[in-house]
Amino acid sequence: MTERKPMNLQRLLDMHARREKIAMLTCYDASFAHVLDEAGVDVMLIGDSLGNVLHGAESTVAVSMDSMLYHTRSVARGNTHAWIVGDLPFDSYHASKEEAWRNAAQLFKLGAHMVKLEGGGWVNETVHFLTERGIPVCGHLGFTPQTVTALGGFKVQGRSEAGAALLKRHAKELVEAGAQMLVLEMVPSALAKEITESLSVPVIGIGAGVGCSGQVLVLHDMLGISHGRHPRFVRNFMQGSASIQEAVARYVQEVKAGTFPVDAVHGF
């Protein structure tokens, strides 16, 4: 049996190039990190969705840098193989690229391999600043939870011709600035597929269809234990599974086989 090697950036880029699907899930603590790692998850995201699923908040806006650091360290301690992405929370990268660097560096020192930030256009300079100095960056476009108020609620993005053109431009610019992975959230499947095929870096979808390089879901949503509204793109993998380990393993297997998501059921 070949030994499983820790994930790295080059392998993720190669997987995208070979159209080999990438399975990503959010994770917030060491015990779950161990379960996800054993189940073969490629990428763990310490998402600021922890504000919703751990803290019970309405949005991710109040999540502090301290919370992100605490949970990033916990996940890193429980993980052996997965690539770890840490979210930069609201108000941690907005004021200046220097402030973004200081916050990203803290996540990096505690075990994140890459940081994720939301938005297009205005973040390009920051992405360039971080990547030039050695911190890999994942962009996040489409529905961006930190700006839910400005977006007027949980809405699919890129439906209009102008909206689609803007998303395509922002994705291209992010990669030109140095981003080496993108998350696309709540975007029409056909548009997400077009963006994925146009880029040299993996595009991980959430509510963006099966044509992306991989998928991500919020862990508590796919285990059916999150409270409140359940978006259309979520599937409860605990249904029909005997354990959390089995549910996560089924998620990984279905993402890799391209049987999750089903665009007609989970897509826009």
Concatenate the DSSP letters of all residues of 115-130 into one string: EEEE-SSTTHHHHHHH
Segment 191 to 230, residues that bind ligand KIV, using CB under 6 A: 206, 216, 218
DSSP character at residue 113: S
Options 44-52, 150-158, 220-228, 256-264: segment touching ligand KIV (CB under 6 A): 44-52
Segment 70 to 89, residues that bind ligand KIV, using CB under 6 A: 87
| Residue 31 C-beta: closest distance to ligand KIV, Å | 18
Choose between 84 and 206: whose C-beta lies nearer to ligand KIV: 206
Q: How many residues does the chain have?
A: 268
Choose between 58 and 162: whose C-beta lies nearer to ligand KIV: 58
How many whole angstroms separate alpha carbon 141 and alpha carbon 130? 18
Residues whose CB is less than 8 angstroms from the CB of residue 150 and which lie 6 or more positions away in sequence, other chains included: none
Q: Name the residue with tokens 């509204």.
A: 229
Q: Which of 48, 84, 192, 212 binds ligand KIV (CB under 6 A)?
A: 48
How many whole angstroms separate alpha carbon 12 and alpha carbon 203? 10
Catalytic residue flag (residue 185): yes
Q: Is 42 in the site for ligand KIV (CB under 6 A)?
A: no
Number of residues that bind ligand KIV (CB under 6 A): 12
Choose between 37 and 221: whose C-beta lies nearer to ligand KIV: 221
Options 8-16, 43-51, 166-174, 229-237: segment touching ligand KIV (CB under 6 A): 43-51
- In the set 58, 99, 176, 185, the catalytic residue is 185
Burial of 214 (0-12, 13-18, 19+ CB in 10 A): buried
Choose between 49 and 189: whose C-beta lies nearer to ligand KIV: 49
Q: Is 138 in the site for ligand KIV (CB under 6 A)?
A: no
> Residue with CB nearest ligand KIV?
47
Instruction: Provide the β-strand partners of residue 206.
Output: 185
Determine phi and psi for 242, rounding to 5 degrees: -90, -15
Residues whose CB is less than 8 angstroms from the CB of residue 252 and which lie 6 or more positions away in sequence, other chains included: 23, 39, 40, 41
> What's the Rg (C-alpha) of the chain?
17
Residues whose CB is less than 8 angstroms from the CB of residue 79 and which lie 6 or more positions away in sequence, other chains included: 27, 33, 34, 36, 37, 44, 111
35, containing H or E segment = helix 30-38
| Residue 175 C-beta: closest distance to ligand KIV, Å | 18
Options 40-48, 89-97, 222-230, 236-244: segment touching ligand KIV (CB under 6 A): 40-48
Choose between 145 and 178: whose C-beta lies nearer to ligand KIV: 145
Residue 88: how many other CB atoms lie within 10 Å: 28
| Residue 223 C-beta: closest distance to ligand KIV, Å | 14
Catalytic site residues? 185
Q: Which residues bind ligand KIV (CB under 6 A)?
A: 26, 45, 47-49, 87, 140, 183, 185, 206, 216, 218
